[in-house]
Structure 1
Amino acid sequence: MNAEDPFVRALTGDDEEQTVTLVRHYRAPLAAVWSALTTPSRIARWYGTITGPEPRAVGDRFAVDIGGGMVRQAQIAACDAPTALSYTWWSGDHDPGLVQLRLEQVGDAETRLSVQHDRLRPHRTVQYGAGWEKNLVALADVVGAPVGESEGAAVGARRWEMLRERPLQVALSIEAPVARVWAAWSTGEALAGWWWNHWDDVTIDADVRPGGGYRIVAERHGIAVSGEYLVVDPEHRIAFTWIWTDDDGASSDEAVDVTFRERAGVTDVVVRHTGPWDSDAPADSYRQGWEFVLAELSRKVV
Structure 2
Amino acid sequence: MIDVNHQISAVRRRVGTRVLEAGEARVVTVSQTYDAPVEDVWDACTSADRIARWFLPVTGDLRLHGRYQLQGNAGGVVERCDPPRSFAATWEYGGDVSWIEVRLTDEPDGRTRFELEHVAHVDDDRWTEFGPGAVGVGWDMGLLGLAGYFGTGKSVTPETAAAWVGSDQGREFMTLSSLRWAEASVAAGTDPQQARAAADRTTAAYTGTPAP
Matched pairs, number? 160
Distance 1:93 1:157, change over 3 A: farther
Q: How does 1:107-122 map to 2 (within 5 A)?
A: 107-121=108-122, 122=127
Partner of 2:31: 23
Residues in 2 aligned to 1:79 and 1:37: alpha-carbon distance in whole angstroms:
12
SS of aligned partner of 1:82: coil
The one-letter code matched in structure 1 to 2:77 is Q
Partner of 2:100: 99
Instruction: For residue 54 of structure 1, report the CA deviation from its aligned partner.
Output: 3.2
- Residue among 164, 180, 188 paired with 1:159: 180
Higher strand residue share:
1
Distance 1:28 1:120, change over 3 A: farther
SS of aligned partner of 1:59: coil
Residues in 2 aligned to 1:105 and 1:162: alpha-carbon distance in whole angstroms:
27
Structure 1 stretches of 5 or more lacking a match?
Answer: 146-152, 167-253, 256-272, 281-302
Residues in 2 aligned to 1:118 and 1:93: alpha-carbon distance in whole angstroms:
15
Higher helix residue share:
2
Residues in 2 aligned to 1:134 and 1:37: alpha-carbon distance in whole angstroms:
15
Q: How does 1:50-129 map to 2 (within 5 A)?
A: 50-51=58-59, 53-56=60-63, 58-65=64-71, 70-94=72-96, 96-121=97-122, 122=127, 123=130, 125-129=132-136
Instruction: For residue 278 of structure 1, report the CA deviation from its aligned partner.
Output: 5.8
Taking only aligned residues, the RMSD between alpha carbons, in angstroms, comes to: 3.0
SS of aligned partner of 2:138: helix
Q: Which has the larger radius of gyration?
A: 1
Residues in 1 aligned to 2:73 and 2:83: alpha-carbon distance in whole angstroms:
26
Report the TM-score when normalising by structure 1: 0.47
Distance 1:37 1:120, change over 3 A: farther
Moved over 3 A (4+): 161-164, 277-280
Instruction: For residue 120 of structure 1, report the CA deviation from its aligned partner.
Output: 4.3
Report the TM-score when normalising by structure 2: 0.65
Residues in 1 aligned to 2:42 and 2:139: alpha-carbon distance in whole angstroms:
17
Q: How does 1:1-302 map to 2 (within 5 A)?
A: 3=6, 5-13=9-17, 17-51=25-59, 53-56=60-63, 58-65=64-71, 70-94=72-96, 96-121=97-122, 122=127, 123=130, 125-144=132-151, 155-164=176-185, 254-255=187-188, 273-274=189-190, 277=192
Structure 2 stretches of 5 or more lacking a match?
Answer: 153-172, 196-212
